[in-house]
């Protein structure tokens, strides 16, 4: 069963819990559990038969329950009543400043944690330095009524990974913390790491249901390889396998009319460049020089639909909801900046809604095609990538023939598209579902642990 109930804290020092009478019918409940903290209490029907829980401050102190007066979910299994879920958001980069405890990312996290009332969960933020392993407690950062608060709380039901970058993710201390919480404490951990672009494509190419969305993609091996791909596709992209934010992407074009090669990229000064070369070898020697290209992939270029002669691709967000189903939560068009190799904002890109660019019927058909592709790709990635995935940001392109193509899948998608005023509601939806998915995982871990920990 799953339902939300208001929880009130009284001044009582007794280990008694008043609960909705319907919950006690035919049940013998002996334990109250919050996160990893569990105590034996007396469960008594609420004297006024109200659909809420009331327990004293002594019980609240024993389970380290912060009183935020919001309805929380209740689960019952093996004579134990679970309230929550308590959702730990694991990250790094904490500062000593109480107003901005996580620096520039404090605003994002404050908005993420503010969905607790809507979702019926208690999310908090923490880092490895906040864990007291001996006592089984964490100093958690909560955001409440426009301010940050720190409460000592039990280990959470579920952990949502929000480590900021690949370097932090590969930190040996943080990796050990993650392994210990997952393996020793059996805490479900979702969105566990950044995707490797080549792993994504190698996984998806095995799935016939999504193969049609994949441009030809290979690990870079030689200039000859690029030459062969150019013979088939006229232009290709070179991308860092573990890159993000559009950094390090180069477009190489072969022009048959003047038998020349062009390379479009953004240089180290942030200037968009388009350079012409007589030979492909000359291009590589000049642009890449002695750089090692062993962590680069080569991808088929696609002739994309355009808006005012500027190419468009689309960011499509998908999230798992509180029932474990994938949902499309946002679609935005990204229009490339003048001369830019990517559609990223820092390179002059512009965010628009599909409705701003296309007529209504065309916009509806386009969003339908993008949504269908994103949902199929989400389900396929879930099967082919390690760990529990709860959200994905797809970069999808649409060719001039209307065919949808996958360029990238991001396990920790950026949120720049939500700067558009028409996408604010979708910003909220993605944050709500990011936490709501923890309710589903908590339920699974309680009732069907063999499915979560298999």
Q: What is the 3-state secondary structure (H, E, C) of 29-46?
A: CCEEEECCEEEECEEEEC
Tally the domains of the chain.
Answer: 4
CB-based contacts of 362: which residues, under 8 Å, 6+ apart? none
| Beta pairing, strands 350-352 & 326-335 | antiparallel
Task: State the average pLDDT over residues 81-104.
Answer: 96
447 located within any domain: no
For 400-417, how does the pLDDT look when each residue is reduced to its tens digit (9 = 90+)?
Answer: 999 999 999 999 988 888
**Confidence class for position 1, pLDDT limits 50, 70, 90:** low
Residues 207 and 340 in one domain: yes
Under 8 Å between Cβ of 113 and 129? no
448 located within any domain: no
- Using CA atoms, how far residue 170 sits from 75, 163, 166, 234, in Å, is 35, 10, 6, 37
Q: Give yes or no for residue 131 having a pLDDT over 90.
A: yes
451 located within any domain: no
For 199-248, how does the pLDDT look when each residue is reduced to its tens digit (9 = 90+)?
Answer: 999 999 999 999 999 999 999 999 999 999 999 998 999 998 887 666 78
Share of the chain above pLDDT 70, in %: 97
Check: pTM over 0.95? Answer yes or no: no
Residues 41 and 133 in one domain: no
Report pLDDT for 397.
95
DSSP class of residue 388 equals: B
449 located within any domain: no
| Of 285-294, 323-332, 354-363, the least confident | 285-294
Residues 38 and 176 in one domain: no
Under 8 Å between Cβ of 113 and 88? no
Residues 207 and 329 in one domain: yes
Of the three residues 84, 112, 142, the one that is the final residue of a domain is 84
User: What is the spatial distance between Cα 220 and Cα 226, in angstroms, rounded to a whole number?
Assistant: 8
Domain hosting residue 37, numbered range: 3-84
Task: State the average pLDDT over residues 334-360.
Answer: 82
**Confidence class for position 338, pLDDT limits 50, 70, 90:** confident
User: What is the spatial distance between Cα 331 and Cα 358, in angstroms, rounded to a whole number?
Assistant: 14
Q: Give yes or no for residue 293 having a pLDDT over 90.
A: no
């Amino acid at each position: 069963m799953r339902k939300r109930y208001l929880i009130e804290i009284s001044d009582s020092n007794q280990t008694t819990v008043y609960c909705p009478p319907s919950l006690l019918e035919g049940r013998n409940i002996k334990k109250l559990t919050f996160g990893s903290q569990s105590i034996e209490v007396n469960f008594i029907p609420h004297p006024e038969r109200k659909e809420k829980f009331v327990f004293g401050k002594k019980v609240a102190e024993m389970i380290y329950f912060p009183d935020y007066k919001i309805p929380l979910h209740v689960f019952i299994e093996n004579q134990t009543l679970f309230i929550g879920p308590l959702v730990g958001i694991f990250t790094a980069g904490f500062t000593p400043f109480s107003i901005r405890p996580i620096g520039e990312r404090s605003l994002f996290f404050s908005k993420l944690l503010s969905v607790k009332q809507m979702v019926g969960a208690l999310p908090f933020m923490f880092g490895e330095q906040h864990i007291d392993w001996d006592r089984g407690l964490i100093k958690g950062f909560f955001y409440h009524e426009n301010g940050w608060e720190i409460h000592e709380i039990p280990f959470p039901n579920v952990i949502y990974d929000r480590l900021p970058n690949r370097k932090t993710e590969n930190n040996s201390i943080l990796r050990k913390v993650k392994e210990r919480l997952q393996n020793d404490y059996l805490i479900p951990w979702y969105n566990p790491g950044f995707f490797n672009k080549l792993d994504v494509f190698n996984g998806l190419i095995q799935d016939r249901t999504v193969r049609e969305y994949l441009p030809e993609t290979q690990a870079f091996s030689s200039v000859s390889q690029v030459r062969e791909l150019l013979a088939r596709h006229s232009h290709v992209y070179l991308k860092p396998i573990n890159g993000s934010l559009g950094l390090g992407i180069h477009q190489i074009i072969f022009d048959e009319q003047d038998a020349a090669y062009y390379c479009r990229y953004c240089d180290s000064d942030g200037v968009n460049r388009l350079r012409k070369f007589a030979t492909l070898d000359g291009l590589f020697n000049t642009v890449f020089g002695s750089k090692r290209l062993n962590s680069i992939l080569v991808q088929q270029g696609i002739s994309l639909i355009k808006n005012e002669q500027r190419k468009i691709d689309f960011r499509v967000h998908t999230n798992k909801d509180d029932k474990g189903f994938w949902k499309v939560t946002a679609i935005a068009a990204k229009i490339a900046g003048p001369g830019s190799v990517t559609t990223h904002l820092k390179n002059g890109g512009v965010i628009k809604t599909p409705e701003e660019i296309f007529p209504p019927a065309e916009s509806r058909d386009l969003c339908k095609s993008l949504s269908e592709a994103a949902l199929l790709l989400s389900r396929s990635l879930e099967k082919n990538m390690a760990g529990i995935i709860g959200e994905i940001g797809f970069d999808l392109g649409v060719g001039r023939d209307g065919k949808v193509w996958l360029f990238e899948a991001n396990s920790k998608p950026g949120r720049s598209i939500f700067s558009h005023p028409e996408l604010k509601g979708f910003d909220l939806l993605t944050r709500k579902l990011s936490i709501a998915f923890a309710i589903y995982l908590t339920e699974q871990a309680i009732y069907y642990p063999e499915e979560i920990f298999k």
